Structure 1
Amino acid sequence: MKKYLEISKLFFKLQLAWRFDIAINVFLTIVKIVSAYLIWNNIFGTRELVSGFTFHTMLSYYIINSFLSQLDMSDRVSNEISFRIRGGTFSKYMVIPANIQGYFVSQTFGTSVFYLVFNLIAAIVWIFIFQIKFAITNNPFHIAAALLIALLGILFMIQLNYFLGLLTLKFEDIYLFLMIKNNILLFVTGVMIPLVLLPEKIVGAMKFLPFYYLTYLPSMLFIGRNEGEILLGFIVLPIWIVLFLLINKYTYEMLRVRYDGVGI
């Protein structure tokens, strides 16, 4: 456990060397919030409610969702694995005295913790700029549940991106897979629109998939909604995490014999 903590600490410190990346990450958080403000300000118009949301509750949802989605740094896992395999330097991960998945989990959490502060500042600043009556639950259990579910969501995304990265051992380029994944996530995680606006049957089916719980459910819990889905979140997400742990282990063992890189 200590070595994985050291990996997280290392990547936390490493982010200080990439100041432009910090600026881009904060900028993307701001863009999402501003876009939501402009779109929903026009949609609400003179109306007070849209699907049970007030204007300020809707913006609160988008601020929280944007904050949570920007914390997920797991995209770097698939990109780095693909780059290393194609460049012949994936060997470094095969010889280090640590589990490869554990290494990337530690790397991602170390990076995410670093960006947490900057994204939080960006969100708070825009709350004051737009004078939003920020809606957040005062129930500590719901807040704790939202944070834990969001944490499990990041863990799942690391597993998913690790799997996609390993596909480079079989396919020449995984860009298409990554593009499909990113476009699907924009919709199914509630980043584009709250899923409550979709037909009930579609939302019901999505509750059995992990993506529903990545940022959408935590965001809804933070604004005091969907508390009845907490238990389901703690059941569905761990099942998918364990499933992908097994899939990733099998995929790695099956495809690693194809790797002919040299050097570390």
Structure 2
Amino acid sequence: MKKYLEIAKAYMKAQLIWRSDIFVDVLLSVAKILFAWILWGILFEGKEQIAGLEFHAMISYYIISSYLFQMEKSAEISQQMASMLRNGTFSKYMVIPVQTQGYFVAMEAGKIAFSSGIGFLTMLLWFCLFRIPLKHTASAKILLCGIIMVALGLLFMAQLNYFLGILTLRFEEISIFLMIKDNISAIVTGAVIPLALLPEWVIAGMKIFPFYYVTYLPSMLFIGKCEDEAVTGLFVLSIWCILFIILNQVTYEHDRIKYDGAGI
């Protein structure tokens, strides 16, 4: 465990190098919230609720979900793995005394530890500057469930992107998979619009898959909504994380023999 903590610490410190990237991420997050403020302000004109959410609850959802979306940086895992496998520099990760999947998850944890602090300050700034009354759950248990669900969601996304990176061993070019994943996940995680606006049969189908529990449900739990789904969400997301841990290990051990350590 100490080895993985050192990896996480190293990548957390490395984030200080990319200060311009951090500034752009914060700026985009603020722009998204500002756009949501303007748009929903128009849509709520003369209405008290939309899909069971009041205006301030909707804005609170967007601020929290934007924060969670900004924290998730695991797309870099698949991009980095694909690049290294194609140019023949992945060999170093196969000889270091740590599990490959564990290394990349620890790398992601270090990046999240830094970006989460910056994002949290941005979120607080929004509530303070615009004096938005934050809607939040009154239950400490629900708050804890939401925090654990966020951690599991970040773990799942890291595992998913690691799996896509492994596919480079078999397909060499995985850009189509990454494009599909990025476009689908932005919608089904609730980062673009609250899933409560979708038909109930669509939401019911989404609850089988993990994306529902990555951003949307924890955001709803934090604002005091969908609290009856907290335990079920933790169970479903935990099962998906376990399945991907096994899938990643089996896929890596099966396909690693195809890697010859040479670039293309």
TM-score normalised to structure 1 length: 0.96
Residues 194-233 of structure 1 aligned to structure 2 (within 5 Å): 194-233=194-233
Displacement of 1:130 in angstroms is: 2.9
Whole-Å separation in 1 of the counterparts to 2:260 and 2:39? 50
Whole-Å separation in 2 of the counterparts to 1:73 and 1:191? 14
Range that drifts further, 25-34 or 210-219: 25-34
Residues 46-195 of structure 1 aligned to structure 2 (within 5 Å): 46-195=46-195
Which segments of 5 or more consecutive residues in structure 1 lack a partner in the other structure? Answer: none
Whole-Å separation in 2 of the counterparts to 1:242 and 1:47? 43
Whole-Å separation in 1 of the counterparts to 2:28 and 2:6? 29
SS of aligned partner of 2:167? helix
Aligned match of 1:252: 252
Q: Are the counterparts in 2 of residues 29 and 123 from structure 1 also a CA contact under 8 Å? A: no
SS of aligned partner of 1:170? helix
Deviation digits for residues 171-209 of structure 1, max 9, x if unmatched? 232111111111111111111111111111111111110
Whole-Å separation in 2 of the counterparts to 1:155 and 1:44? 36
Q: Are the counterparts in 2 of residues 153 and 214 from structure 1 also a CA contact under 8 Å? A: yes
Whole-Å separation in 1 of the counterparts to 2:244 and 2:51? 35
Deviation digits for residues 184-235 of structure 1, max 9, x if unmatched? 1111111111111111111111111000000111000000011111111121
Aligned partner of 2:27: which letter?
F
Whole-Å separation in 1 of the counterparts to 2:34 and 2:186? 17
Runs of 4 or more, structure 1, over 4 Å off, are: none
Q: How many pairs were matched up? A: 263
- CA-atom RMSD in angstroms: 1.2
Deviation digits for residues 99-146 of structure 1, max 9, x if unmatched? 011111111011101011111111121223333111112321111110
SS of aligned partner of 1:38? helix
Cα 1:90–1:158, aligned 2, differ >3 Å: closer, same or farther? same
Q: Are the counterparts in 2 of residues 56 and 132 from structure 1 also a CA contact under 8 Å? A: yes
Aligned partner of 1:142: which letter?
I
Aligned partner of 1:211: which letter?
F
Aligned match of 1:24: 24
Range that drifts further, 245-254 or 55-64: 245-254
Residue 241 (structure 2) pairs with residue 241 (structure 1): yes
Whole-Å separation in 2 of the counterparts to 1:234 and 1:50? 27
SS of aligned partner of 2:230? helix
Displacement of 1:262 in angstroms is: 4.4
Aligned partner of 1:102: which letter?
G
Aligned partner of 1:6: which letter?
E
Q: Are the counterparts in 1 of residues 67 and 120 from structure 2 also a CA contact under 8 Å? A: yes
Aligned match of 2:45: 45
Whole-Å separation in 1 of the counterparts to 2:151 and 2:236? 14
What is the percentage of aligned positions where both structures have the same residue? 49
TM-score normalised to structure 2 length: 0.96
